[in-house]
Amino acid sequence: MADPINVSNATRFVHAGERRDFPGGKPAATPIYATSSFIFDEIEDIDRIVEGGASGYVYSRYGNPTVAAFEEAVCEVENGAFAYAYGSGMAALHAALLACELTTGSVVLASRDLYGSTFELLYTVFGAFGIKTVAADFSDLETLQEAVAENKPSVLLCETLSNPLLRVCDIQAVAEIAHAVNAKLVVDNTFATPYLCRPLDLGADLVVHSATKYLGGHADATGGVVIAKNEFDRPALLGALTLAGGVLSPWEAHSLLRGLKTLGLRMEKQCSNAERLAHILKDSPYLSEVIYPKFFDGEHAIALDETFHGSEFGAIITVRLKEDTREAAYRFLNSLRVCTRATSVGDLFTGIVHPATATHRELSPAKRVSLGITEGTLRIAVGIEDLNDIAKDIENALKECHPAEAGIVSDIPFTNAAAAAQLF
């Protein structure tokens, strides 16, 4: 305060130490601006910012410097025009669909392999307003074109790598199909990350991330982000943010921004671990199928070449147990000592989940089976631990869930078995 002499202690307690001038040096890391509002010397300054005639921040629902730094960073690595961050990946996806100006009678053509909660959002929230969702196989471009011609969608929605079966979307081809009927293409790039693929470069209009996953990478922050290819989508995405209010906290933004800085290092290690682990598991007598993009052939291999800008194939492996039952899956999961039973992906540690009771729990058993998600299907999100420890832990758990074949022995040792036994 300019003149604290004529105020009471109660007032001093409120204002003491606040509104100090910013120091001369710039902070090396973006500070956490833990404030809901911003004050100005003159009311005219607020008026100019709210009107759009000056830059600045007035209220954190409309913008916060820490959140803006995270948005700018993600925008840069995804080669977008701008980005807005939201409180979760689902909030970001909701905003992206709102930005597509869907109205009663609009059709969303969605990849049949989407994350279960994405379908719940489409059917429950958007369906209540008369917006129709049609599922299609995006890996069959001829069938997709027929579905587009028949349904005349306003939006096509897909994932770069589908959850959990890792089907690869040929984004460039799908974008051409979408734009031929003036539809927008929205791509969830959570599993691939900009380290492996930049969908906007391939023709997508909006890219969505659950930043909770690989962008953050440390299991300590929840958030989402939408990156747009064109400036004309800014008002709609900003409106979805400020009016629906699903804003990202500056604390979460700080954690996510810090995590993003090591995305390249983490993904390099995780992709390397996943590829080597996939080759090990491919020979396991306890598994009937190992799904990993490097093993794809035919149209999926072509899509992989067209979509990914490197020779790495992601950090997720999906396997099917030879005993394809929920009981065997549970025995496997409960036998893990190093790998975690975690429903998320992208963290530093290896997490394994049972899609039938987690990511796709909302779907009927018949629908899950039609998609290829059986009771013995498991999704492995590979972390940065020592590969030998990951592989040994998984193999030991596989033996536990297939007791009849317990005589089979592996020569893959823990690097530190005693330490591993004490982890969980």
CATH number for position 162: 3.40.640.10
Query: Does residue 293 belong to any structural domain of this protein?
Result: yes
Domain identity same for 94 and 166 = yes
DSSP letter (8 states) at residue 26: P
pTM as predicted: 0.90
Query: Does residue 14 belong to any structural domain of this protein?
Result: no
Query: Does residue 16 belong to any structural domain of this protein?
Result: no
At 410 the pLDDT is 43
Domain identity same for 213 and 342 = no
Domain identity same for 252 and 268 = no
Under a CB-based contact definition with an 8 Å cutoff, are residues 415 and 353 in contact? Answer: no
Domain identity same for 234 and 312 = no
User: Of 160-164, 235-239, 356-360, where does mean pLDDT reach its minimum?
Assistant: 356-360
Which two structure tokens, joined as six digits, stand for 329? 């899956």
User: Of 51-55, 146-150, 337-341, where does mean pLDDT reach its minimum?
Assistant: 51-55
Query: Does residue 50 belong to any structural domain of this protein?
Result: no
Domain identity same for 254 and 366 = no
Under a CB-based contact definition with an 8 Å cutoff, are residues 129 and 156 in contact? Answer: no
Q: Decide which of 266 and 16 is more confident.
A: 266
Domain identity same for 113 and 187 = yes
Q: Decide which of 271 and 418 is more confident.
A: 271
Under a CB-based contact definition with an 8 Å cutoff, are residues 191 and 74 in contact? Answer: no
Return the CATH number at 400. Answer: 3.90.1150.10
Average pLDDT, the chain: 90
- Rounded mean pLDDT of 258-265? 96
Query: Does residue 37 belong to any structural domain of this protein?
Result: no
Active site residue 188: yes
Which two structure tokens, joined as six digits, stand for 320? 């099917």
Per-residue pLDDT for 404 more than 70? no
Distance CA 169, CA 195 (A): 16
Per-residue pLDDT for 341 more than 60? yes
Q: How far is CA 385 from the centre of its chain?
A: 21
Distance CA 352, CA 376 (A): 13
At 125 the pLDDT is 96
User: Of 164-173, 236-245, 261-270, 406-415, where does mean pLDDT reach its minimum?
Assistant: 406-415
Query: Does residue 360 belong to any structural domain of this protein?
Result: yes
DSSP letter (8 states) at residue 295: G
Q: Listing from the earlier edge strand, what are the strands of the sheet with 155-159?
A: 82-86, 224-228, 206-210, 184-188, 155-159, 107-111, 132-136
Active site residue 283: no
Domain identity same for 326 and 409 = yes
- Reported as a pLDDT band with limits 50, 70 and 90, residue 87 is very high
- Reported as a pLDDT band with limits 50, 70 and 90, residue 420 is very low
Q: Which of 394, 390, 395, 396 is nearest to 415 (CA)?
A: 390
How many domains does the chain contain in total? 2
Domain identity same for 153 and 76 = yes
Active site residue 392: no
237, 260, 283 - which closes a domain: 260
Give per-residue pLDDT as tens, 125-153: 999 999 999 999 998 999 999 999 999 99
Query: Does residue 55 belong to any structural domain of this protein?
Result: no
Which two structure tokens, joined as six digits, stand for 296? 């794809």
Distance CA 30, CA 22 (A): 13
Under a CB-based contact definition with an 8 Å cutoff, are residues 353 and 379 in contact? Answer: yes
- Rounded mean pLDDT of 94-122? 95
Percent with pLDDT over 90 in the chain: 74
Q: Which one from 45, 48, 59, 61 is the annotated catalytic residue?
A: 61
Q: Decide which of 65 and 423 is more confident.
A: 65
Domain identity same for 149 and 297 = no
Q: Which of 189, 309, 214, 352 is nearest to 270 (CA)?
A: 214
Q: Which one from 184, 213, 229, 331 is the annotated catalytic residue?
A: 213
User: Of 2-6, 49-53, 239-243, 408-412, where does mean pLDDT reach its minimum?
Assistant: 408-412
Range of the domain at 360: 263-421
Distance CA 137, CA 111 (A): 6
* DSSP state string for 155-186: EEEEESB-TTT-PBP-HHHHHHHHHHTT-EEE
Q: Which one from 84, 167, 170, 188 is the annotated catalytic residue?
A: 188
By residue count, the chain amounts to: 424
- Rounded mean pLDDT of 188-201? 97
Distance CA 333, CA 380 (A): 11
260, 279, 303 - which closes a domain: 260
Distance CA 17, CA 337 (A): 50
- β pairing state of 82-86 and 224-228: antiparallel
Q: Which one from 33, 84, 86, 115 is the annotated catalytic residue?
A: 115
Query: Does residue 65 belong to any structural domain of this protein?
Result: yes
Q: Which of 227, 186, 212, 256 is nearest to 381 (CA)?
A: 212
Distance CA 334, CA 344 (A): 17
Q: Listing from the earlier edge strand, what are the strands of the sheet with 340-341?
A: 287-291, 316-321, 377-381, 351-353, 340-341
- Rounded mean pLDDT of 69-93? 97
Measured between its terminal Cα atoms, the distance across the chain in Å is: 53
Q: Going by C-beta distance under 8 Å and a sequence separation of 6 or more, which residues neighbour residue 130? A: 104, 105
Domain identity same for 301 and 409 = yes
Give per-residue pLDDT as tens, 229-251: 999 999 999 999 999 999 999 99
Domain identity same for 210 and 322 = no
User: Of 53-57, 100-104, 301-305, where does mean pLDDT reach its minimum?
Assistant: 301-305
236, 260, 284 - which closes a domain: 260
At 16 the pLDDT is 80
- Reported as a pLDDT band with limits 50, 70 and 90, residue 320 is very high
186 beta partners: 157, 206
Q: What separation in angstroms does the CA of 124 have from each of 110, 128, 247? A: 14, 6, 22
- Rounded mean pLDDT of 292-309? 80
Domain identity same for 70 and 210 = yes
At 358 the pLDDT is 82
Active site residue 282: no
Distance CA 280, CA 335 (A): 19
Q: Decide which of 300 and 358 is more confident.
A: 358
